[in-house]
Structure 1
């Protein structure tokens, strides 16, 4: 992804808070907590255990950032038709056709 002014504003904007985002982030956190607990129970106390739990923390942080920055609430989404087309246009054009 190319870095441009729009992307910089998106990355450094305050987190958006609404019930739908909060529910999704809570589900991600709960699943990650379950995984971290499983790692703690099954992996002997070690650097590897610590690194594994830290990796889960990083995954949650990035997932939450993705929700904060890019999630489109249901009310704002267009309908998706049987052929896969959408009735709502994507607001940000693809900047690199070579990635398609």
Structure 2
């Protein structure tokens, strides 16, 4: 495998990481040929590549989790803020009616 082929495969893997939630099997299909080639050239490099790949997947999953949690928190904060504003407006209307 030439370094250009490896670079292309790594670029494909990086692009596929963006779709991790939609198509996780595609990542393994893209990674396995690269992993096998690296392992054939150097067993130690193959093991290190596997460890790094697993860490990349864990990190990406963690990123997706925290991103979705942050979005949910933002939506909740907006809802609470909107409700607080409505409560204040209702209170002011009540006070004006008295």
Report if TM-score (shorter chain) is over 0.5. Answer: no
Higher relative contact order (CA 8 A, sep 6+): 1
Name whichever structure is richer in helix by fraction.
2
Highest CA radius of gyration, 1 or 2?
Answer: 2
TM-score category, normalised to shorter length = 0.3 to 0.5
Q: TM-score, normalised by structure 2?
A: 0.41
